[in-house]
Amino acid sequence: MQKNTFKSKSSNASLFRLPGLIASAALSMTFVAPAMAVVQSSVGFTENGGRRVISLGNSATLPSTIDALNRGVNTGNGAGENLFGLTSNGLLGWPIGPRAFLGVRHDQLSPGSTLSFDNQTFTVASVTNMTGTFAGPNNTTIVGNSDIAIYTINANDPSFTRFSPLFTPSDNFSPGRELVVYGRGTSRGNAITALASGGNTRGWASGEDDRQISWGTNRLESIRAISLGSLENTTVALTYNFSPEGDPDGTLFEGGLTASDSSGAVFARTSTGEWKLAALNSAVDGPVGHTADQSLAQQAVVFDASGLFAGIIDGLPANNGSYALRTSGRTSSFSTFVGFPEYANVLQNFVPEPTTLTLLCGVIVLGLRRR
């Protein structure tokens, strides 16, 4: 297993990347680095502080809150705004019912850890990890671990009075759907240019790990299984690419994931107009460099990888499993999908009013939608 130098913000374990690709009619599995949205920032994202994080455009022209974009029908919450708490290991946690909240499994909390939410402190009593069964190569079956951990709180703690509605298998979700993405990752760093000595900007490297709350928008590309380093850690994820300014498939506040955005959430609007929590941030493509020398590569978000070297771009590894020249492509972000039936069946036990879930038919892959 090849490891890069970036660390998840609450763990001493290096982020990992296992080169290779396994594919079948029912499973497209990529090996990427758990991490997460790079972009430009400005202060004042919510009344509670933080920042707006986007990748393109002038930060001075951004709205001060997501609600100002008139994005949702959740009273006072817009597309997930202010529905997150802060865990004791520095990540975001997302209440989903009176007694439970979500976080990522690859940066898991232990019983006794805490979540700060609505000016109160809640203590973790127990942890539930989800698994899923996938069709692997050569008619094999893979039982993989979801990258979502469900936390219940101590019996003597007060209940959550506000929480995110969850996307379910019965909610319509197709490529092109607009997403609102949250994270607590790095600021936007130096520009990645066409040449090491300069040239046209192709994207931006990860900057300071200042742990400020951030948000951006994107569009769904596909839903498919990915592996976070091993077949045992296979998870079903939303994928979304990073588009340049002016791209017809881009969004007004286009963002992509970078280091330390793990456990941020993705919200998507349903066919009824309601914004629901659809996924938690798990992984991102890269790093990117100007030569095949891995030690000189940077974790980055790029909208044009032509002429650059990268291990994984567009969710696909280099042919030889190392840093190899790719002629086109953009970095992809991956967030574990809560609406996969085997995940949703577990999650429904923690929400206040469980509903009947319709199982998805056919394969889980929606098909990569090239921009």
* CB distance 118 to 128 below 8 Å: no
pLDDT band of residue 58 (cuts 50, 70, 90) is: very low
Q: pLDDT tens digit string along 308-319?
A: 888 788 888 766
Name which of 230, 221, 264, 224 is nearest 53 in CA terms: 264
Q: How much is the mean pLDDT over the chain? A: 75
Name which of 232, 350, 347 is nearest 278 in CA terms: 347
**Over the Cα atoms of the chain, what is R_g?**
19
Q: Does residue 354 carry a pLDDT above 50?
A: no
Q: Does residue 24 carry a pLDDT above 50?
A: no
Q: pLDDT tens digit string along 231-255?
A: 889 999 999 998 887 888 888 778 8
How many Cα atoms are found within 13 Å in the side-chain-facing hemisphere of 102? 34
pLDDT band of residue 56 (cuts 50, 70, 90) is: very low
Helices and strands, number each (H, E), in the chain: 1, 27
CA 283, CA 16: separation in Å to the nearest integer?
A: 10
**Which of 31-45, 102-116, 199-213, 265-279 is predicted with the least confidence, judged by mean pLDDT?**
31-45
Name which of 367, 360, 173, 357 is nearest 267 in CA terms: 173
Count of other CB atoms within 10 angstroms of residue 324: 15
Judge if the upstream peptide bond of residue 287 is cis by omega within 30 degrees of 0.
Answer: yes
Q: Does residue 337 carry a pLDDT above 80?
A: yes
* pLDDT over 70, % of the chain: 71
